[in-house]
Amino acid sequence: MDRIRVRGGRRLEGEIEISGAKNATLPLMIASLLSAERLTLENVPHLADVTLLARILRNHGVDIAMEGKRSGAPPHPGETYHLEAREIVDTTAPYDLVAKMRASFWVLGPLLARCHEARVSMPGGCAIGTRPVDLYLMGLSELGAEIDVEGGYVVARAPGGLRGGRIIFPKVSVGATICVMMAASLARGETVIENAAREPEVGDVARCLQAMGARIDGIDTGTLTIAGVSSLGAARHAVLPDRIETGTYAMAVAATGGDVLLKGARAELLEAALDVLERAGVAIKPEDGAIRVRRNDVPLQPVDVETRPFPGFPTDLQAQLMALMTRAAGTSTIRETIFENRFMHVQELVRLGANITLQGDLATVRGVAQLKGAPVMATDLRASVSLVIAGLAAEGETIINRVYHLDRGFENLERKLGNCGAVIERLSS
Ligand code: UD1
């Protein structure tokens, strides 16, 4: 298994190109199941999760072609994918594929809407809490689906097709909102989704569906109104920039000190995180199509933060913020309100010399003068990258094991950081 070696203590200086958002790319690819015509996606990041989802979609009959690259073109500056689901050949999403990536469960909505039946394995994905699927099932039942759980599979049927309905989600869920919105776009009549997730990736998917011919109102708000249509057509859509990748590199610069231009980043996608960084003493300057992040020798100030659905501070940046706060001049508190058990990085950060105590959903981080490199291991995507950030700021060498987690969600991480002066390399085994 590959590992990453980081030698800490270097400031980051230079430019980092922000990739297309993983969390938008995955549902956008899934949206191709809704139409018999071609969906072209631009700015698709080169990630293990994207490759895996392509496999899953091919299984259902989606024809996927990647536009060829000219020789000499830089590696993976955003690929163009053409996806065409002329005919759905299989409405089952099997365990061995879905168990590897939770988002593949979202095929349930489009398959059900288009084929009136679907059989999808209960999901796997990052080990961050129980992550149930009750909200998906509730939403799709409201659209008239009959749902059973049999042998670890969700079996959904809508013999006469889905119909519009009114769904009031008791809890904000990105996945359930996307899944039900996709299904409703091909249902008969109008659907209203209340307490919908407002994450920018949900809006990106909604805009792509609109380009395919869906009729959706209230995009980027908590109430989505969808007038179902009988079929969707072809479209071309560019994936929005990855706000989690943006925030991650911003925190890396904050941790090491330095001055980096995050090219292609959009500040309005992560205001809450940028505000937290400013409170911590980091200079943030949105520029034309980019964000400049700078920290000189000013010490980091501690912060008190709670994760929240968008527009609040994202849970996907919680681990990275914690890595940053390990070196603040004082005590920070970080409360995780979205996922239970999303603190697996804590023990590993402690191995690097951090002083963190946990009490339920609250982490108290007492800043230390220096972290010291060590071998560490992570069990999920965002936790792994928090260890990279801590390693960059630590004295000496840090070896991060189980790099496959990083490859699921961060495109060219070593190259992007290495170009800014970090000493980071992959050790293949
Ligand atoms: C998505 C993101 C993930 C991010 C999360 C929250 C993708 C591929 N993944 O995950 O990176 O951390 O949003 O911003 O986009 N819940 C239920 N019942 C359900 C569904 C969810 O109780 O049926 C709960 C979850 O356990 C969690 C909360 O709702 O406590 C939010 O989860 P959700 O927004 O659904 O996360 P995902 O869509 O899986």
CATH assignment at residue 47: 3.65.10.10
Specify whether the CB–CB gap between 12 and 252 falls below 8 A.
yes
- Residue ID of nearest Cα to ligand 1 atom 7: 23
Cα separation, 162 vs 220, in Å, equals 24
Atom of ligand 1 nearest to the CA of 315: 12
Rounded to whole angstroms, the Cα distance separating 108 from 369 reads 49
For the Cβ of 24 lying below 6 angstroms from any atom of ligand 1, the answer is: no
Nearest atom within ligand 1 for CA of residue 129: 26
Ligand 1 neighbour 173 (Cβ under 6 A) = yes
**Structural domain for 388, as ranges:** 3-19+241-427
342 CA to middle of ligand 1, Å? 12
Q: Which residues on adjacent β-strands are paired with residue 149?
A: 154
CA of 175 to the centre of ligand 1 (A): 6
Cα dihedral: 377, 379, 382, 387 (round 10): -10
Which single residue is written with the structure tokens 């659905």? 309
Torsion angle, alpha carbons of 36, 109, 97, 127, to 10: 150
Instruction: Decide whether any atom of ligand 1 lies within 6 Å of the 102 Cβ.
Output: yes
135 plus 37 within the same structural domain: yes
Q: Does ligand 1 have an atom closer than 6 angstroms to the CB of 53? A: no
Q: What is the pLDDT of residue 125?
A: 45
Which range (18-22, 145-149, 405-409) has the least confidence? 405-409
Kindly tell me if the per-residue pLDDT of 237 is higher than 50.
yes
- In Å, what is the CA distance from 197 to each residue of 135, 144, 417? 12, 22, 32
Which is nearest to 4 in space by CA: 289, 429, 426?
Answer: 426
pLDDT surpasses 60 at 126? no
E strand segments, 308-390:
331-335, 355-359, 362-366, 375-377
- Of the three residues 238, 271, 302, the one that is the final residue of a domain is 238
**pLDDT score at 405:** 85
Q: Are residues 114 and 162 in the same domain?
A: yes
Ligand 1 close to Cβ of residue 386 (< 6 A)? no
413 C-alpha to ligand 1 centroid (Å): 24
267 plus 308 within the same structural domain: yes
Check residue 176 and give its pLDDT.
97
Is residue 183 located within the same domain as residue 246?
no
Tell me the C-alpha distance between 158 and 165, whole Å: 14
Structure tokens at 348: 């590993």
Paired strand residues for 426: 4
Catalytic residue from among 115, 126, 208, 420: 126
End-to-end CA gap in the chain:
6
How far, in Å, from the CA of 26 to the mean position of ligand 1?
A: 14
Q: Please count the residues of the chain.
A: 429
Peptide bond into 302 cis (omega under 30): no
> Can you give the pLDDT at residue 297?
83
pLDDT more than 90, % of the chain: 85
- Higher local confidence (pLDDT), 379 or 318: 318
Q: 3-class DSSP state for residue 359?
A: strand
The pTM is what?
0.96
Say yes or no to pLDDT of 269 above 80.
yes
Answer yes or no: is the C-beta of 103 below 6 A from any ligand 1 atom.
yes
| Domain final position from 209, 238, 267 | 238
What is the average pLDDT across 159-184? 97
Q: Which DSSP symbol is given to 269?
A: G
191 and 253 co-located in one domain: no
pLDDT digits (tens, 9 = 90+) for 188-208: 999 999 999 999 999 999 999
Could you give the count of Cα atoms lying within 13 Å of 210 in the half-sphere of its Cβ? Answer: 13
**What does the pLDDT read at residue 130?**
54
Whether 339 lines ligand 1, by a CB cut-off of 6 Å, is yes
Contact 119, 90 (CB under 8 A): no
Rounded to 5 degrees, φ, ψ at 130 are: -75, -30
| Amino acid, single-letter form, for residue 226 | I
Crossing angle of helices 22-31 and 48-60, rounded to 10° = 10
Q: What is the DSSP string of 179-222?
A: HHHHHHTTSBSEEEEES----HHHHHHHHHHHHTT-EEESTTSS
Mean pLDDT of the chain: 94
Same domain, 97 and 169: yes
Alpha carbon distance 204, 211 (integer Å): 11
- The answer to whether residues 281 and 301 touch, using CB atoms and an 8 Å cutoff, is yes
Cα(338) to ligand 1 centroid in Å equals 8
DSSP 8-state class, residue 93: E
**Residue 126 is a catalytic residue:** yes
- Which tokens is 349 given? 């950060």
Residue 133 CB–ligand 1 contact under 6 Å: yes
Asked whether residue 13 falls in the same domain as residue 45, the answer is no
Ligand 1 atom at shortest distance from the alpha carbon of 24: 15
Rounded CA separation 294/126 (Å): 32
pLDDT over 50 at 129, yes or no: no
Please check whether residues 64 and 127 belong to one and the same domain. Answer: yes
Residues 283 and 190: their CA atoms lie apart, in Å, by: 46
From residue 126, alpha-carbon distances to 43, 104, 144, 363 in Å are 24, 13, 31, 20
Please tell me the distance between residue 176's alpha carbon and the centre of ligand 1 in angstroms. Answer: 8
Give the domain-ending residue among 238, 262, 295: 238
Mean per-residue pLDDT, 25-33: 98
Q: For the residues 321-339, what does the mean pLDDT come to?
A: 97
Q: Is 38 helix (H, G, I), strand (E, B) or coil?
A: strand
Q: What is the pLDDT of residues 33-53, one digit of tens each?
A: 999 999 999 999 999 999 999
Same domain assignment for residues 292 and 381: yes
Paired strand residues for 425? 5
> Which atom of ligand 1 approaches the CA of 310 most closely?
14
41 in the same domain as 15: no
Question: What pLDDT sits at residue 131?
Answer: 62
Query: What pLDDT score was predicted for residue 99?
Result: 87
Ligand 1 atom with minimal separation from the 49 CA: 8
What token pair was written down for 401? 């094991």
Q: Do residue 164 and residue 49 come from a single domain?
A: yes
Q: In the chain, what percentage of residues exceed pLDDT 70?
A: 96
Domain check: are 229 and 255 in the same one?
Answer: no
Give the number of domains in the chain: 2
C-alpha dihedral sign at 309, 310, 316, 320: negative
Query: How far apart (Å, rounded) are the C-alpha atoms in residues 67 and 42?
Result: 10
Residue 327: CA count within 13 A, CB half-sphere? 27
Any ligand 1 atom below 6 A from CB of 136: yes
Residue 240 CA to residue 264 CA, distance in Å, equals: 9
